[in-house]
Structure 1
């Protein structure tokens, strides 16, 4: 996912076990970098499980469980780290260079990839994001609206109303995956409202202990739900009618999924380490892992690697999961970041007009 700046907003937000000198050197809160790394691993696992043929009920249960909260927790963190967003020219310029430019570059790159690997007529359509690229324009638009959400009363309630409207309506269209932008909006707005004390609370020992039975219940519920519902609800890409349900069900489903995602996100964050570890440096490169791992997943599909006999066995599914985790970990490393920095985090200072002296 986008390499969200993990600047520590205050002493309370920093990991309690991390020395103050270490925090001041890096300027980043290791808790959020650790959380982003663990979340990007869940994203890669979900994408690797998706093409598994006849994956079985256990894999489908894990898939349902992970998809309940893995994107919401990423978006909540994005909102929290965007609290200082202002519509100044320098901030908007940074938004364009860090989100819009990589989006356009990878939209072209994935289109060429599709054309070279068996789909020569695959269209280049910047308004229809390729698979995983929808998150970049979504985050761009969410951040542009930050001042509004910091001004309006009851922002989370208003955002839930917007999301419910998106779930009820099925004729919004596919441009920029606007359905997803609207339906995932409440998580970004929730993140904007959070404060360091909220993250301190979820890291309490009591919350950590309570999260275990909560997750077990959620797994049991996911196991029960697998044959009875569709995971398409979790993608937030469709209205209720497109999923075969009455339009009015969009409202209760939106509220239900929001409640489930917030609870499981809190359980996930309760177990995120709050000190510098081997994964901390990887959390700063999640944008690279997010944008690049799609080539490997789609490449494996094109090569029919998911059709191998071993993949259909329990051991094969474990191997696929381990490979996906190792892959996205490698793609977040500083070495990969150095190679791809010019396309993922381009410096376009020459394209910007000189700023007048203060």
Structure 2
């Protein structure tokens, strides 16, 4: 993959899921489509494994895999999202940017937060109610993405944006946030979004092409697995959800700061190793990378429905054979939910264009 492919993919962010949003069509970058799809596989596996990890002390291997995945999968996913949000930092007052901000985050958030909350109330036989100020389950990411993209112009103007975002993350450790917009996660995961937003293209190209990084990735993941296997039973998994301050985790502020910085550094190292292993060329699954937002927003319904049938207590599911089968189903579901037929049927909810709601103005913008 040549260097020129990188800016091409940045411009390709003007398309969502392969559907034009008004910008000129350009070739997609296979590396980023592969990275998005494989990162989404980790997200689905994490949500699938989550209800099982504390069922049986003998399932130490599963808990280790879960902790390893959670130690970096959302930072990785968010860095990629930051890379694809670069256009929101340019010409922020452009009506097209504002429309995409609404249709890519706000409208899907309203639709899916409402749907998830209604289903949850129905599943628990509770009165139906919806509170959009408190993100339910995986919809927190859309709320966070809206806040991050709204702030994108600021981060592109600062001299040391990642440092400032890291200080914001550390400052969040003093606070005890309630559920509104899941602000704990918004602030604690902010540095990864800012890094993806502001990283130089030549650095991305180095990660893609570095043989040394590729060779180092496997030993790094093996060491991380061994570390989580050893220390995992003594680690509170809430640390990896990155939504709690030092008081909520029951530790001193100095302890929280050191742990948060260590976890952030570990997440960055593992993310770089993961990206170094991502195939750079077009594969049979590359085209599915255009539909990862469908998988992200839809797979939660499958997990919630499985919980309604107590799958986490199934003797078969909690056996080695059952875990392998369940993981295989999760990987298969990742691809199915990102497939073109699903995108055609549910594009109105996941990627609404809403042309009916916006005025068409093709007149050139005048300089102020």
The alpha carbon displacement at 1:356 in A equals 6.2
- Map of 2:270 onto structure 1: 264
- Map of 2:50 onto structure 1: 50
Alignment partners' CA distance in 2, 1:168 and 1:115: 33
Match of 2:195 among 187, 190, 194: 190
Alignment of 1:111-130 (within 5 A): 111-121=117-127, 123-130=129-136
- Map of 2:40 onto structure 1: 40
- Map of 1:209 onto structure 2: 215
Aligned partners of 1:168 and 1:249 also within 8 Å: no
The alpha carbon displacement at 1:137 in A equals 1.2
- Map of 2:76 onto structure 1: 73
- Map of 1:10 onto structure 2: 4
Alignment partners' CA distance in 2, 1:181 and 1:269: 23
Aligned partners of 2:6 and 2:29 also within 8 Å: no
Alignment partners' CA distance in 2, 1:329 and 1:356: 38
In the TM superposition, what whole-angstrom CA distance separates every residue of 1:70-124 from its partner, at most 9, and x where no partner exists?
A: 1111111111222232312220111101110011001111122123323323531
> How large is the Cα RMSD of the aligned pairs?
1.9
The alpha carbon displacement at 1:327 in A equals 1.2
Aligned partners of 2:101 and 2:146 also within 8 Å: yes
Aligned partners of 1:102 and 1:343 also within 8 Å: yes
Structure 1 pair 196/153, CA: closer, same or farther in 2 (3 Å)?
closer
The alpha carbon displacement at 1:226 in A equals 1.1
Q: TM-score, normalised by structure 2?
A: 0.88
Alignment of 1:152-163 (within 5 A): 152-163=158-169
Structure 1 pair 14/94, CA: closer, same or farther in 2 (3 Å)?
closer
* Secondary structure of the structure 2 residue equivalent to 1:72: helix
Alignment of 1:154-303 (within 5 A): 154-170=160-176, 172-203=177-208, 204-303=210-309
Aligned partners of 2:34 and 2:289 also within 8 Å: yes
Structure 1 pair 12/354, CA: closer, same or farther in 2 (3 Å)?
closer
Aligned partners of 2:8 and 2:27 also within 8 Å: no
Aligned partners of 1:10 and 1:196 also within 8 Å: no
The alpha carbon displacement at 1:142 in A equals 0.5
The alpha carbon displacement at 1:47 in A equals 0.4
Match of 2:65 among 62, 65, 71: 62
The alpha carbon displacement at 1:352 in A equals 1.5
Alignment partners' CA distance in 1, 2:239 and 2:308: 27
Structure 1, gaps ≥5 residues long: 1-7, 16-23
- Map of 1:342 onto structure 2: 348
The alpha carbon displacement at 1:185 in A equals 0.2
Alignment partners' CA distance in 1, 2:77 and 2:354: 27
* Secondary structure of the structure 2 residue equivalent to 1:96: helix
Of 308-317 and 286-295, more deviation after overlay is shown by: 308-317
Structure 1 pair 160/290, CA: closer, same or farther in 2 (3 Å)?
same
Task: Determine which structure has greater relative contact order: mean sequence separation of CA pairs < 8 Å that are 6+ residues apart, divided by chain length.
Answer: 1
Alignment partners' CA distance in 2, 1:41 and 1:122: 32
Structure 1 pair 111/9, CA: closer, same or farther in 2 (3 Å)?
farther
Aligned partners of 2:3 and 2:205 also within 8 Å: no
In the TM superposition, what whole-angstrom CA distance separates every residue of 1:293-323 from its partner, at most 9, and x where no partner exists?
A: 0011010010112222111211111111111
Alignment partners' CA distance in 2, 1:350 and 1:106: 21
Q: TM-score, normalised by structure 1?
A: 0.91
The alpha carbon displacement at 1:9 in A equals 8.6
The alpha carbon displacement at 1:237 in A equals 1.2
* Secondary structure of the structure 2 residue equivalent to 1:274: coil
